[in-house]
A and B are shown apart, each in its own frame.
Chain A
């Protein structure tokens, strides 16, 4: 999730991260991108250009790496990130149906974010909690033994939760 500070502070923090560790060149790129995504929430084009200049490597190289790894995102993510485990253990117990259920409830496809920026729906491959299959993780909370009919109820927690925080 994106940090709450304004962009400038994020850039200062990123600089600090790079300078403190004396990071330079290609070999530090993935580490720096991890930190950049952690600070900004995603990796927009201007940030990629910034990282390229900072590490003294071609912009194309940075772009190539960002687009290769699924962990890096070029688009902002929603307030709540839903991860549906599609590991084999969950899949054989009906995780695909759970995913379909989320897709139809939120009216988005896997990998997309809702128009109101509330939810991002993504798939993960095995979180290692096969004893609880099928597993869904929303933000940090883990839901075990999820069936497609539970999806609506789970989502309601977050919609209600959001209203409460807004009024508070």
Chain B
């Protein structure tokens, strides 16, 4: 159904409000219920789709179709405990729900009215089962602005988005009809780019708006390539319309009628949801020609990436949309003047865009009050690695790392010690324990040698070797360097070679010096952001975990016991002389008599650790 005017859209919003009534009701109002099943990637991979089908089947089978509905929604964020469902209006939050639980959920909870105890979350701080997400420490310090609709609406239903005030911000902007006021409002809000660099979004829009040219473009950068980051993916899967709406607002502001969404081909579910959303928006007249009868035309096309990390860099991304190799170009002239096909272009990241509609609805002042002096609003982090509550969290700027890791994240599993947090992916650095109380802001993270990045936050514990982590990132950047400029192409290769040498126990003190010097050269001389930031993991580990590098180089030991070539496998006096190890050793380097302690010939040992697995009394250890 086509919406022909702003008045019609507002009327439709009021009409569709009842769709979300159950989900917004604060208290139990009647017997009607709605079951929201997480359809994000994490839960999806853990069979939430089968769960949804099973719930729908049970609803029919138990004859309660009139009473209850089961629907898919976007990511709840608590991926570690998935698949997750939330039942409204009683607001019960179930974790690790299996398709086989569907029967009793309908029978006991929906019909019987009593929540199922063993599917509830055990809140560790009070050691009690809790029913709602508001009682869980994972959610207490979170503030959901970008993720506001994830877990609430069905992403494949435009009516639900409209009920959640969707497209009302676009309507407001079109009604006001003042493009300069749009960029000014964003400048006043203090919103900065969430892709990592933190450039003020309003200034970017303002510059592109002022640039001369009849043809201009807006781009949504959804080429989320950082290993360990999945914020943009979850947003696109959970609330695709908010990104479309923001792109249309950007189009109106800068004077463009064409938007592109550049998305990784590896994100099939997000692509599907975007395609559905674009088709629905076009049908409703919210994209296309003469939007809401205001005469504004705007269309959005999806462009697929093809597996190149460098294409997340603005200029490389434009080359890729043009159909070429994704090689960056020198930003002598800013893309706001000359970008895609040499036309003024404004590129924004998914999370940045997802914030925009709600900023227009609530005003710049509202947004400006959230966060810190220098960084406004919230930031979504993909929390992963050695942390209990793996998941997606959105916190106000200024929240400390300690709060994120130990309160929201629940700390380190298996009683291990926190060693470092890595933010900013291959472009960022590691943050040592001494900086846990640093409030999160763009500047403060740079000051301590890391960066905000797009939002990956990987927690490392004492079992992770920092040299090996630096090597991991360098392997990544080395492979993903496009090869256009020499400092990045050759420099990262050399860095990787040296790191490899160190992890093999062949490093020298001179190598550490070279690592440092070379890193600084690459930083200064590379053409684009990939090269300029590639040495960060090396520099920050060298600075904060120098003792680990020294242990590898001087003592030829890996303190975390990760670098295989530096391990020494030894047999302790617990040995009972059963000869099992000697028999399993593939290189026959274990010697000893029956019922006597065996010995490993270190020169011959290949560190395969087969003996450790074979020992019945755990007498063999690595040091």
Q: Which residues of A contact B (CB under 8 A)?
A: 25-31, 33-34, 61, 64-65, 68-72, 86-89, 91-93, 124-133, 135, 142, 144
**B406: chain A residues within 8 A (beta carbon):** none
Other than A30-B306, A71-B265, A88-B385, give 6 A-B pairs with Cβ distance below 8 A. A26-B324, A34-B304, A68-B326, A126-B228, A128-B230, A130-B42
Query: Given known contacts A26-B322, A71-B265, A130-B382, is B308 in contact with A87 (CB within 8 Å)?
Result: no
Query: Which A-chain residue is minimally distant from B456 (CB atoms)?
Result: A88
Asked if B42 contacts A91 (CB within 8 A), the reply is no
Distance from B313 Cβ to chain A, minimum over Cβ atoms (Å):
14
Asked if A68 contacts B325 (CB within 8 A), the reply is yes
Mask of B298-314 contacts with A, CB within 8 angstroms, 1/0: 00000111111100000
Distance from B181 Cβ to chain A, minimum over Cβ atoms (Å):
34
A-facing residues in B461-476 (Cβ within 8 Å): 464, 469, 472, 476
Mask of B197-239 contacts with A, CB within 8 angstroms, 1/0: 0000000000000000000000000000111111001100000
Asked if A130 contacts B230 (CB within 8 A), the reply is yes
Mask of B302-343 contacts with A, CB within 8 angstroms, 1/0: 011111110000000000111111100000000000000000
Give Cα A128–Cα B308 distance, bound, in whole angstroms.
Answer: 17
**B79: chain A residues within 8 A (beta carbon):** 129-132
Distance from A116 Cβ to chain B, minimum over Cβ atoms (Å):
26
**A127: chain B residues within 8 A (beta carbon):** 41, 45, 266
**A64: chain B residues within 8 A (beta carbon):** 324-325
Give Cα A29–Cα B303 distance, bound, in whole angstroms.
Answer: 11
A-facing residues in B233-284 (Cβ within 8 Å): 233-234, 265-267
**B46: chain A residues within 8 A (beta carbon):** 129, 131-132, 142, 144
Give Cα A93–Cα B225 distance, bound, in whole angstroms.
Answer: 20
Distance from B419 Cβ to chain A, minimum over Cβ atoms (Å):
10
Tell me, yes or no, whether B460 is within 8 Å of chain A by CB: yes
Tell me, yes or no, whether B390 is within 8 Å of chain A by CB: yes
Distance from B289 Cβ to chain A, minimum over Cβ atoms (Å):
19
Tell me, yes or no, whether B600 is within 8 Å of chain A by CB: no
Asked if A30 contacts B303 (CB within 8 A), the reply is yes
Query: Which B-chain residue is minimally distant from A130 (CB atoms)?
Result: B384
Asked if B225 contacts A89 (CB within 8 A), the reply is no
30 A–B pairs (Cβ distance < 8 Å), ordered by A: A26-B324, A27-B322, A30-B304, A31-B303, A65-B324, A69-B307, A71-B266, A71-B307, A88-B384, A88-B385, A88-B456, A89-B228, A89-B382, A89-B385, A92-B458, A92-B464, A93-B386, A126-B228, A127-B41, A127-B45, A128-B42, A129-B41, A129-B45, A130-B385, A130-B390, A131-B46, A131-B79, A132-B42, A135-B45, A142-B45
Distance from B430 Cβ to chain A, minimum over Cβ atoms (Å):
11
Give Cα A31–Cα B302 distance, bound, in whole angstroms.
Answer: 10
Query: Which A-chain residue is minimally distant from B77 (CB atoms)?
Result: A131
Asked if B325 contacts A65 (CB within 8 A), the reply is yes
**A34: chain B residues within 8 A (beta carbon):** 265, 304, 306
**B89: chain A residues within 8 A (beta carbon):** none
Query: Which B-chain residue is minimally distant from A65 (CB atoms)?
Result: B325
**A33: chain B residues within 8 A (beta carbon):** 306
**B528: chain A residues within 8 A (beta carbon):** none
Tell me, yes or no, whether B425 is within 8 Å of chain A by CB: yes
Query: Given known contacts A88-B425, A92-B385, is B322 in contact with A69 (CB within 8 Å)?
Result: no
Distance from B224 Cβ to chain A, minimum over Cβ atoms (Å):
8
Give Cα A29–Cα B321 distance, bound, in whole angstroms.
Answer: 10
Give Cα A125–Cα B229 distance, bound, in whole angstroms.
Answer: 10
Pick the contact of A70: B304, B308, B325 (CB < 8 A).
Answer: B308
Give Cα A129–Cα B38 distance, bound, in whole angstroms.
Answer: 13
Tell me, yes or no, whether B422 is within 8 Å of chain A by CB: yes
Asked if A88 contacts B458 (CB within 8 A), the reply is yes
Distance from A12 Cβ to chain B, minimum over Cβ atoms (Å):
23
**B143: chain A residues within 8 A (beta carbon):** none
**A72: chain B residues within 8 A (beta carbon):** 306-307
**A91: chain B residues within 8 A (beta carbon):** 227, 472
Query: Which B-chain residue is minimally distant from A27 (CB atoms)?
Result: B323
Give Cα A88–Cα B425 distance, bound, in whole angstroms.
Answer: 8
**B304: chain A residues within 8 A (beta carbon):** 30-31, 34
Give Cα A89–Cα B472 distance, bound, in whole angstroms.
Answer: 12
Give Cα A125–Cα B514 distance, bound, in whole angstroms.
Answer: 29
Distance from B184 Cβ to chain A, minimum over Cβ atoms (Å):
34
Give Cα A115–Cα B453 distance, bound, in whole angstroms.
Answer: 42
Give Cα A131–Cα B82 distance, bound, in whole angstroms.
Answer: 8
Tell me, yes or no, whether B286 is within 8 Å of chain A by CB: no
Distance from A21 Cβ to chain B, minimum over Cβ atoms (Å):
11
Query: Given known contacts A28-B323, A34-B304, is B227 in contact with A87 (CB within 8 Å)?
Result: yes
Query: Given known contacts A31-B304, A68-B482, is B476 in contact with A125 (CB within 8 Å)?
Result: yes
Asked if A144 contacts B230 (CB within 8 A), the reply is no
Asked if B307 contacts A70 (CB within 8 A), the reply is yes
Give Cα A146–Cα B137 distance, bound, in whole angstroms.
Answer: 28
Give Cα A86–Cα B456 distance, bound, in whole angstroms.
Answer: 14
Distance from A141 Cβ to chain B, minimum over Cβ atoms (Å):
9
Query: Which B-chain residue is minimally distant from A143 (CB atoms)?
Result: B45
Asked if A89 contacts B320 (CB within 8 A), the reply is no
Give Cα A128–Cα B264 distance, bound, in whole angstroms.
Answer: 12
Give Cα A93–Cα B412 distance, bound, in whole angstroms.
Answer: 13
Distance from A37 Cβ to chain B, minimum over Cβ atoms (Å):
9
Asked if B390 contacts A144 (CB within 8 A), the reply is no
**A29: chain B residues within 8 A (beta carbon):** 323
Pick the contact of A89: B309, B321, B458 (CB < 8 A).
Answer: B458
Query: Given known contacts A131-B82, A132-B42, A144-B46, is B306 in contact with A69 (CB within 8 Å)?
Result: yes
Give Cα A64–Cα B384 distance, bound, in whole angstroms.
Answer: 36
**A144: chain B residues within 8 A (beta carbon):** 45-46
Query: Which B-chain residue is minimally distant from A91 (CB atoms)?
Result: B472
**B234: chain A residues within 8 A (beta carbon):** 128
Give Cα A28–Cα B322 distance, bound, in whole angstroms.
Answer: 8
Asked if A88 contacts B42 (CB within 8 A), the reply is no
Give Cα A144–Cα B225 distance, bound, in whole angstroms.
Answer: 21
Asked if A88 contacts B324 (CB within 8 A), the reply is no
Query: Given known contacts A88-B425, A131-B391, is B225 in contact with A125 (CB within 8 Å)?
Result: yes
Distance from B94 Cβ to chain A, minimum over Cβ atoms (Å):
16
Mask of B120-141 contacts with A, CB within 8 angstroms, 1/0: 0000000000000000000000
Pick the contact of B390: A25, A28, A89, A124 (CB < 8 A).
Answer: A89
Query: Given known contacts A34-B306, A65-B325, is B390 in contact with A131 (CB within 8 Å)?
Result: yes
Tell me, yes or no, whether B80 is within 8 Å of chain A by CB: yes
Query: Which A-chain residue is minimally distant from B458 (CB atoms)?
Result: A88
**A31: chain B residues within 8 A (beta carbon):** 303-304
Give Cα A70–Cα B460 distance, bound, in whole angstroms.
Answer: 29
